[in-house]
Structure 1
Amino acid sequence: MSEGLVVLVRSIIGFFSLLIFAKLLGKEQISQLTFFDYVLGITIGSIAATLTTDLSSRAWPHFVGLLGWCVLGYLMEYITMKWRYAAKYIEGEPTIVIMNGKIMESTLKKTKYRASDVMELLRNKDIFDLTQVDFAIIEPNGQLSVLRKPEYEPLTAMDISIKKNSSGISTELIYDGILFEENLRQLNKDRKWLLNQLKTHGIKDISEVFLATLNPAGSLYIDKYEDHIKKVTDIGDYDGPY
Structure 2
Amino acid sequence: MNEGLVVLVRSIIAFFSLLIFAKILGKQQISQLTFFDYALGITIGSIAATLTTDLSSRAWPHFVGLLTWCLLGYLMEYVTEKWRYAAKYIEGEPTIVIMNGKIMENALKKMKYTAADLMGLLRVKDVFDLSQVDFAIIEPNGQLSVLKKPEYEPLTPKDMSILKAPSGISTELIYDGILINENLKQLNKTEKWLMAQLKMHEIKDVSEVFIATLTPSGSLYIDKYDDHMLKATDIGDYKGPY
CA distance in 1, matches of 2:11, 2:236: 46
Q: 1:184 to 1:91 in 2, by over 3 A?
A: closer
The TM-score, its normalising length taken from structure 1, stands at 0.71
* TM-superposed deviation, 1:225: 7.6
Scaled by the length of structure 2, the TM-score of the pair is: 0.71
**Offset of 1:6 from its aligned partner?**
0.6
Matched, 1:155 2:155: yes
Distance 1:226 1:7 in 2: 46
Measured after TM superposition, the shift of residue 161 of structure 1 is 2.7
**For 1:63 and 1:21, how far apart are their aligned partners in 2?**
12
- Cα separation, 2, equivalents of 1:127 and 1:42: 33
Structure 2 partner of 1:33: 33
Task: Work out whether residues 101 and 134 of structure 1, in 8 Å CA contact, stay in contact via their aligned partners in 2.
Answer: yes
Indicate the residue corresponding to 2:10 in structure 1. 10
Q: Could you say if the C-alpha distance between residues 12 and 102 of structure 1 is closer, same or farther in structure 2, counting changes exceeding 3 Å?
A: same
Of 93-102 and 117-126, more deviation after overlay is shown by 117-126
Structure 2 segments unaligned to the other structure (5+ residues): 171-207, 213-221
Give CA deviations for 1:90-135 in whole Å, capped at 9, x if unaligned: 1100000000000000010000001111111111111110000000
Asked if residue 77 in structure 1 is aligned to residue 77 in structure 2, the reply is: yes
Structure 1's consecutive aligned runs of 4 or more residues displaced over 6 angstroms after TM superposition are 224-227
Count of matched residue positions in the alignment of Structure 1 and Structure 2: 189
Name 2:180's counterpart in structure 1. none
- Look up the match of 1:128: 128
CA distance in 1 between partners of 2:145 and 2:38 (Å): 21
Matched with 2:89 is 89
SS at 1:68 equivalent? helix
- Indicate the RMSD between aligned Cα atoms, in angstroms: 2.8
Residue aligned with 1:74, SS: helix
Q: 2:65 — aligned with what? A: 65
Q: Partner residue of 2:108?
A: 108
Alignment of 1:81-230 (within 5 A): 81-162=81-162, 186=222, 206=230, 209-211=231-233
Instruction: State the alpha-carbon separation in 1 of the partners of residues 106 and 66 from structure 2.
Output: 40
- Give the secondary structure class of the aligned counterpart of 2:5: helix
Residue pair 1:132, 1:148 contacting (<8 A) in 2 also: yes
**Percentage of matched positions with identical amino acids:** 76
